[in-house]
Amino acid sequence: MDFTWIPEYQNLLLHGVFLTFLLLAISVPLGFGLAIFLAIAQVGDNPIARWISKGYCTFFRGTPLLIQLWLIYYGLGSYLPYIPGLRASFLWPVLREGLFFATLALTLNFAAYQGEILRGAMLAVPKGELEAARAVGMSPGMILRRIWLPRAIRIGLPTFAGEVVLQLKATPIVFSVTVMDLYGAAYKIRQDTLLVYEPLLLVTVFYVTLTFVITQVFQKLENAVPVRR
């Protein structure tokens, strides 16, 4: 095994690690925020909102993430330059990069899965708790903020941990749209050095380590906030 190439490519590897963290740090919170609205729409009384939310989740859960990424990158990305004034705006340096489209695709996909999980968790909240809140005069918005949503998040917490890990393992596909994440860095190192296994082993250690950290963080959260029966 030859790892003498690491010092030469350390800047590339660190940049890849940074982009991988960035993709995860942006797509998970934004996706979870969108998932809250998707879940509320599905358990709510508005049939139009419920239909839109179900259609959204069905599309993004029923199609491969790679196809979604390409549709956004090659579809939406090809039309953006023709929007009047966009190329001269301060947004163009961001919107012209593959990182924007990769983050968007990961966020939308993550939201669909989280939305379904959160919907199930909201339906699993004991109805007696909600009825008790109504009995003491809480408004629907207060019930949602103080009881229903927090309880649902706690119920779904073990599943959320698994979804974050899956999101981490999905990030390497962004290399297909020119984003030099950690896998992209390893791919370039393989091309330059003709080493097949060593760069991939290094990437594997990184993903396994980060997966362990994520699971430990969520486990501590679960232990800190026990489920009330």
Q: How many domains does the chain have?
A: 1
- How confident is the model over 156-191, as pLDDT tens digits? 888 998 999 999 999 999 999 989 999 999 999 999
Domain assignment of residue 1, yes or no: no
- How confident is the model over 150-165, as pLDDT tens digits? 999 988 888 998 999 9
Domain assignment of residue 229, yes or no: no
Residue 223: band (very low, low, confident or very high) from pLDDT cuts 50, 70, 90:
confident
Question: CA end-to-end span of the chain, whole Å?
Answer: 53
Domain assignment of residue 201, yes or no: yes
Which structural domain range is residue 48 located in?
A: 6-224
Q: What confidence score (pLDDT) does residue 139 get? A: 87
- Percent of the chain scored above 90 by pLDDT? 62
Dihedral through CA 58, CA 165, CA 149, CA 68, nearest 10?
-30
Q: What CATH number should be reported for the domain holding residue 17?
A: 1.10.3720.10
Domain assignment of residue 174, yes or no: yes
Q: What confidence score (pLDDT) does residue 76 get? A: 86
For residue 226, pLDDT over 70 is answered with: no
Q: What are phi and psi of 181, to 5 degrees?
A: -80, -165
Residue 59: band (very low, low, confident or very high) from pLDDT cuts 50, 70, 90:
very high
For residue 229, pLDDT over 60 is answered with: no
Domain assignment of residue 210, yes or no: yes
CB atoms within 10 A of CB 166: 14
Domain assignment of residue 196, yes or no: yes
Domain assignment of residue 216, yes or no: yes
What sign results for the dihedral spanned by CA atoms 212, 218, 219, 224? Answer: positive
